[in-house]
């Protein structure tokens, strides 16, 4: 179940919809600049399937589709707030990485 919320792109998508409200696809794409259209489409479909996002189709010319966080998705707001508060530690994480890299020899990566 943790994978539902903490998969690579789920948190940024839900964060944007929770913080900034209803968005069209292209607006989400602009806010989450490092996500590809294919991945955004896949994640939105999964989030809709999981009940965390609501997709609204407007039969206009041209057609318009909007995404918004559902009530179930909004129930994650305390988690987003906690993550936002914890983010003040990102400087410490970066410093820890630099300290580690400075004292460790370069290792070959076998993955």
DSSP 71-84: HHHHTTHHHHHHHH
Q: Return the residue matching tokens 């913080």.
A: 19
Domain membership flag for residue 108: no
Domain membership flag for residue 8: yes
Per-residue pLDDT of the chain (111 residues; tens, 9 = 90+): 566 666 778 888 998 999 899 999 999 999 998 999 999 999 999 999 999 999 999 999 999 999 999 999 999 888 878 887 888 888 899 999 999 999 877 665 554
What is the rounded CA–CA span in Å between residue 27 and residue 46?
19
- Give me the CATH number covering residue 24: 1.10.10.10
Q: What is the residue range of 58's domain?
A: 2-103
């Amino acid at each position: 179940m943790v994978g539902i919320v903490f998969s690579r792109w789920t948190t940024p998508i839900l964060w944007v919809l929770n913080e900034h409200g209803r968005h069209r696809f292209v607006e989400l794409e602009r806010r989450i600049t490092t996500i590809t259209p294919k991945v955004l489409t896949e994640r939105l479909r999964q989030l809709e399937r999981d009940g965390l996002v609501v997709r609204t189709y407007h039969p206009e010319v041209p057609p318009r589709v909007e995404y918004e966080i559902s009530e179930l998705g909004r129930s994650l707001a305390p988690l987003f707030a906690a993550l936002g508060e914890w983010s003040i530690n990102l400087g410490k994480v970066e410093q820890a990485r630099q300290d580690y890299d400075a004292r460790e020899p370069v290792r070959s990566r076998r993955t």
